[in-house]
Amino acid sequence: MRVVTPIPHKKARIEIIPLIDIMFFLLASFMMVSLSQVHMKGMKVNLPTGVSGETQNKREYISLSVDKDGYFYFDKEQIDFDKVLPKLQAIYAASPDAKVFVRGDRDALHGNVIRLLNQIRASGYNKIAFEIKSEAGKAIPAPSK
């Protein structure tokens, strides 16, 4: 037996527009929180060593070095600073996807490494890696104040 009710029977509907509104609100909230967590503050660090160093594949790569006396090396060959840019431009013309690794001596002046970095970028390379000596098994000493 079927009972007739005065209340009309409606089928359930899933509204998707409020769901989209909530998803956009959550997306915007997470983006704002993640942007506010980025702090660009410098610390006194020892650059040549690192625990989280990642081994890179060196099939096709260019190695540039700066020693503590300010001399520049292309692979293991000493090169004048004025000849770095033309040599890199010639290599970039032949293989623009080559990886560039910069090796700076622990006692090298920061300005010399930056000068080399500017030459590398002027030649066309934008993906540059800095080589460090990995100390994965050692504990990191606390920074002194």
Q: Please, are residues 64 and 116 in contact by the beta-carbon 8 Å criterion?
A: yes
Per-residue confidence (pLDDT) for residue 54, from 0 to 100: 58
- Name the region of 124 (left: φ>0; alpha: ψ -120 to 50; beta: rest): left
Q: Please, are residues 120 and 81 in contact by the beta-carbon 8 Å criterion?
A: no
Helix axes 110-123, 84-94, angle to 10 degrees: 40
pTM above 0.85, yes or no: no
The answer as to CATH 3.40.640.10 being correct for domain 52-134 is no
Per-residue confidence (pLDDT) for residue 22, from 0 to 100: 93
How does pLDDT run along the chain (145 residues), one tens digit per residue?
677 777 777 787 888 888 899 999 999 999 888 877 654 433 333 345 555 555 555 557 788 888 888 888 888 788 898 998 999 899 889 888 888 888 888 888 888 888 888 999 998 888 888 877 666 545 444 444 4
Cα distance between residue 36 and residue 48, in whole Å = 30
Q: Please, are residues 127 and 90 in contact by the beta-carbon 8 Å criterion?
A: no
Per-residue confidence (pLDDT) for residue 73, from 0 to 100: 85
Per-residue confidence (pLDDT) for residue 52, from 0 to 100: 56
Per-residue confidence (pLDDT) for residue 21, from 0 to 100: 92
* Two tokens, residue 141: 């000493």
Q: Please, are residues 133 and 124 in contact by the beta-carbon 8 Å criterion?
A: no
Per-residue confidence (pLDDT) for residue 137, from 0 to 100: 45
